[in-house]
Structure 1
Amino acid sequence: MQKSQDRTELLRSAPVKSALLKLGTPTLIGMSVSALYNVVDAFFVRHLGGSQMAAVSLFAPIATAMLGLALLFGGGAASYISRLLGAGKRSEANECASTSLATSMAVAVLLMAGFVAFAEPFLRALGATDTMMPYAAAYAVPFFIAMTFYAFNATANNLIVSEGATTVSMVAMLLGGISNIVLDPIMIFALGWGVTGAAVATLVGTLLTTCVYLSYFLRGKSSLALSPRNLKPTAGMYAQVLKIGVPSLTYQLLVSVALWLTNVFAAAYGDAAVAALGIVARIMNLASMVAFGFVKGYQPFAGFNYGARRFDRVREATKTACIWETAFACITAVTLIIFAEPLLSAFSQEDATIVSIGATALFWNALSFATFGVQAVYSAFFLALGKAKQGALIAIGRQGIFFIPALLIGSWAFGLLGIIAAQPIGDLLSFLLVLVLVAKSKGVLSDSEMANAEHAETSA
């Protein structure tokens, strides 16, 4: 209980920069390592061949969709719980946490059962060619099982971060990520399991992360009480969760659709194109997860202080986060541009076609990544404060309104180059959208406006 009280004081009264570092650093480290194992998977699988690399890349949309499910309930609940805790409504926070986690797991089990039952037609729909199909089928079942536990982990992680327990989040993700990295070469090469070994390594790492989260809750370390007694699926609670969760889900589903469409269009240019764009997607995912990792620590701080009506702390935290995130994004962009070809060579088994396509794609994606920091902060800002409309616009904009038309038009007009350019175009247009939304929402940072905004949900 003492640790729970310490976390509350950190959110309420610690110096803003110090609090952001204490909250953001653990989530940054945890999410970075968690994303790193996807890159490491690609590094080891590339030794098996281009078709195997392309087959494993097909599953990225599924992982993204499962993260979306977790954000629908876990992310939506996290925003609401932070505001409830800030307002001192602990019993309501407990009910929200228990109900959201149970709902997320129920939906995940049903979805994964369907994926396993209809694996082959589903993989064909994802873009599996005849050369990819044997490897995709070998990877599928352990991966689908892992995704069920992944949904639990991602939901539980959001709940834990919402109470400021970011160190627990870090430990869980570190254990899962490092174990996956260690097990990959053992299961792929030493045991001779090939792509199946990569999927089993992911499953084991995911289960270890699950054990950390279960231990945290079952030993009573959390300030949130997860219990069947707290399962109260009321319409009002779901409304608060879903109004924030739906934009988060929408974003992840659109990312999933974007990955799927990219694979489908790239398949016309051969397995090398699918593999190259898959590698670039993993590299950019690692970079974005580092950015999101810090923002994940910022979000409960903003939500808690908004619920506690400490608007000065929200303003200072938002300004600080924007500066730090923009600096990181720009440094990352320059680094990726300079080392584009060496990075692609490390994952391509010296396949010149993969290196050529991938280096071009990485250059343009890195260039637009410089705008990502501001997008990430303000996306978290709107969601933390319960601003569903702005959050939904950002979610739909980046991968929906902008990316999909750019991909469709670009692939038709410019072929593979148009496919490569679609994501950078989507990023830049999304950045402009965020600037417009921020300009129109200036009042939300004034005490008078914030005192009235969304007051009912934390005082009713």
Structure 2
Amino acid sequence: MSRAQPALDAPALPTFLRYVGASTLGLLALTSAAVVDGLMVGKWLGADALAAVNLLIPLWILLFGSVLMLAIGASVVAGHYLGAGRRDAASGVFSASVCLALVFGLTVTVLGLTFGDGLLRWLAVPEPLQPLVKPYFQLLLLGQAPQSVAVVLYYFLRVAGEPQRASRALVLGALVNILLDVLGLAVLGWGLRAAAGATVAAQLTQCLVLLHLLYSGRTSLRLRPGWLSWRRLIAFCGNGFSEFLNEVSAGVVLFVLHWLLALTGGVAAVSGFALIHYALLLNVMLACAVAEVVHVLTSQNLGAGQPVRARRFRDYGLGLAATQGLLLWTLVFLGGPALSDWFFEGSAADYAARFWPVIAPVFLLTGLNLVLSAWCTGCRQPRRSALLALARSLVLPLVFLALLFPWRDQVSFLWALPLAELLTLGLALGMLADKASIRRLLPLRQ
């Protein structure tokens, strides 16, 4: 049996849980590394260094979202080919995607090093912080090519039946990042360059381990010379456009929220929301772990002409998303205020305690919306997937923020987030309730 066959032939529930376990491990590794980075920089280098790191986040979100769009969109197509037994076609898509990711990463590095001063001004980095930000920024640019390639390798190896080993590569990279951060920042006191060097070392580690996994002979994908047409590559990216929207829109909404919180409550309100933001990030990563498995297994089973099994994986995803959402909602609703008192002192803790009950419904709804969006992605329906992603992560939050902010003395404008998730869920369920729409979703479009 080939390595890709368990997704098609093995018992459905154990297969689903195995994929989810590997996906959760990998995504939590990425999330924990980012959070630990921020905490370490803030603890050992101070507020200015932490500000320097955070001011670059919108750019990294944009770049990561672009690569994610290619990786997920093209890997879904490769999953269809693998499900249909067309390994050469899947390897062609894979090879073209790796080449494009490498070109993208190198282009970003060259442009960033050439026009770095202009980019820092575009990101609104204050003049006094630029001497601190610039060397950190330049070092991080050197890791864009290996990071772009690693993201593509990770998603394709998952489709090819290696979710656990691919996730372990991400975990190894996260550990390298954390250990080098501790060594460079806490022990040697090398400053922000040490933090950037640790990140680049982690990206190189992940890329090299994933390449070793590819060439170990255990996967059905191979790098082959040749390019696909630009039109086909753009079409593949379109299939992953919803993930691009999720990444970029989250950054836009977070920026707006910080701006409104600063207007109404100052630094204390922004600080109080920081703890909620970390919890929301964890929630999204757990939900994405389930959603990614749904689109991987859906794409392969539809490619193999097994729509009933594909729907079964979708239903498993919805059930798990609902279960973990209910658990997180309960923990947040009951334990959020106590956590705020332990983490903060003074007015920041008061703000955080007031925010938790408002934000709690988001934990209940996010997973369901992401799984339904992933179902559309796996069915190669990028317009539907992009519509759901755009609604929940950008349009509806901004609309509700605009509507609620004038009434902020009567009701918290943070209700915009759960209201956006609730309305998006209604839109998604309306799509699935349309029987004709369901029939259009299931057949594989050649």
Task: Answer whether TM exceeds 0.5 for this pair.
Answer: yes
Partner-residue secondary structure (3-state), 2:221: coil
In structure 1, what is the equivalent of residue 389 of structure 2?
395
Give runs of aligned pairs for residues 307-318 of structure 1, distance below 5 A.
307-318=303-314
Aligned equivalents of 2:306 and 2:314: distance in 1? 13
Post-superposition shift, 1:412? 5.9
Specify whether residues 221 and 63 from structure 1 end up closer, same or farther in structure 2 by C-alpha distance, changes over 3 A only: farther
Q: Which of 317, 321, 335 is residue 331 of structure 2 equivalent to?
A: 335
One-letter amino acid of the counterpart of residue 185, structure 1: V
Query: Are the aligned partners of 1:126 and 1:264 in contact in 2 as well (CA < 8 Å)?
Result: no
> Which of 36, 41, 48 in structure 2 is aligned with 1:40?
36
Task: Tell me the distance in 2 between the aligned counterparts of 1:42 and 1:360.
Answer: 24
Please give the alpha-carbon distance, in whole angstroms, between the structure 1 residues aligned to 2:323 and 2:191: 40
Contact 2:105 2:148 in 1 (8 A): yes
Measure, in 2, the Cα distance between the counterparts of 1:184 and 1:431. Answer: 40
What's the secondary structure of 2:220's corresponding residue? coil
Matched, 1:90 2:87: yes
Q: CA 1:182/1:424 → structure 2, altered by over 3 Å: closer, same or farther?
A: farther
Distance 2:137 2:414 in 1: 27
Higher relative contact order (CA 8 A, sep 6+): 1
Q: Is the 8 A contact 1:50 1:272 kept in 2?
A: no
Q: Which amino acid aligns with 2:81?
A: L
Partner residue, 2:430: 436
1:11 matched to which residue of 2?
7
Residues 85-164 of structure 1 aligned to structure 2 (within 5 Å): 85-129=82-126, 135-137=132-134, 139-164=136-161
The offset of 1:198, in angstroms, is 2.9
CA contact (8 A) 1:166 1:297 kept: no
Any conservation in 2 of the 1:45–1:53 contact (CA below 8 Å)? yes
Deviation at 1:327, TM superposition (A): 0.5
In the other structure, the counterpart of 2:252 is: 257
Do residues 380 (structure 1) and 374 (structure 2) align?
yes
1:199 aligns with 2:191: no
Choose which of 283, 291, 301 in structure 2 pairs with 1:305: 301
Question: Residues 354, 174 of structure 1: CA spacing in aligned structure 2 closer, same or farther, 3 A cutoff?
Answer: same
Distance 1:149 1:81 in 2: 22
Report deviation, 1:125. Answer: 4.0
Question: 1:51, CA displacement in angstroms?
Answer: 4.3
C-alpha separation in 2, matches of 1:139 and 1:341: 36
Please, which runs of 5 or more residues in structure 2 have no aligned partner? Answer: none
Contact 2:28/2:282 (<8 A) preserved = yes
Q: 1:366 to 1:149 in 2, by over 3 A?
A: farther
The structure 2 residue matched to 1:425, chosen from 419, 425, 433, is 419
1:291 match: 287
Query: 1:16 offset after TM fit, Å?
Result: 0.8
Q: Is the 8 A contact 1:262 1:419 kept in 2?
A: no
C-alpha offsets along residues 332-391 of structure 1, whole Å, 9 cap, x if unaligned?
2222333435655676xx554444444544543333121012112111110011012211
TM-score of the pair, normalised by structure 1: 0.86
**CA 192–354 in structure 1, closer or farther in 2 if over 3 Å, else same:** farther
Task: Provide the residue aligned with 1:20 in structure 2.
Answer: 16
Alignment of 1:196-235 (within 5 A): 196-227=193-224, 229-233=225-229, 235=231
Opposite residue 330 of structure 1, the aligned amino acid is L
SS at match of 1:330: helix
- Structure 1 counterpart of 2:243: 248
Q: Cα offset for 1:238? A: 2.3
Report deviation, 1:191: 1.6
Amino acid at match of 2:328: T
Q: 1:406 to 1:128 in 2, by over 3 A?
A: farther
SS in 2 for 1:230: coil
Query: Which residue identity lines up with residue 237 of structure 2 in the other structure?
Result: L
Aligned to 1:322: 318
Native 8 Å contact 1:291 1:325 kept in 2: yes
Letter in structure 1 aligned against 2:165: V
Contact 1:126 1:260 in 2 (8 A): no
Cα distance in 1, alignment partners of residues 270 and 121 from structure 2: 14
- Aligned-pair distance for 1:257? 2.5
Q: Distance in 1 between matches of 2:413 and 2:144?
A: 28
Residue aligning to 2:72: 75
Tell me the CA shift for residue 95 of structure 1.
1.1
Task: Confirm whether residue 169 of structure 1 aligns to residue 166 of structure 2.
Answer: yes
Q: Which runs of 5+ in 1 are unaligned?
A: none
Paired residue secondary structure (1:95) = helix
Match of 2:400 among 403, 406, 417: 406
Taking a change above 3 Å as real, the CA distance of residues 342 and 176 of structure 1, as seen in their structure-2 partners, is farther
Q: Would you say the 8 A contact 1:272–1:353 is kept in 2? A: yes
* Matched residue type, 1:98: S
- Conservation of the 8 A alpha-carbon contact between 2:80 and 2:299: yes
Distance 2:272 2:128 in 1: 16
Equivalent in the alignment of 1:185: 182
Q: Give yes or no for contact 2:22–2:164 (8 Å, CA) kept in 1.
A: yes
SS in 1 for 2:310: helix
Q: Is the 8 A contact 1:330 1:369 kept in 2?
A: yes
Give the root-mean-square deviation of aligned CA atoms: 3.0
**Cα distance in 1 between the residues matched to 2:423 and 2:216:** 47
CA distance in 1 between partners of 2:271 and 2:119 (Å): 19
User: Residue 29 of structure 1: SS of its match in structure 2?
Assistant: helix
CA distance 1:354–1:123, shift in 2 (3 Å):
farther
Q: Aligned residues, how many?
A: 444
Inter-partner Cα distance in structure 1 for 2:111 and 2:360:
36
Aligned partner of residue 173 in structure 2, secondary structure: helix
Q: 1:263-282, aligned counterparts within 5 Å?
A: 263-266=258-261, 273-282=269-278
User: Alpha-carbon deviation of 1:218?
Assistant: 3.4
Cα contact 1:254–1:399 (8 A) shared by 2: yes
- For 2:38, the aligned partner's letter is A
Conserved 8 A contact 1:371-1:431: yes
Structure-2 residue corresponding to 1:365? 359
Q: Secondary structure at the match of 1:7?
A: coil
Give 1:379's aligned amino acid: S
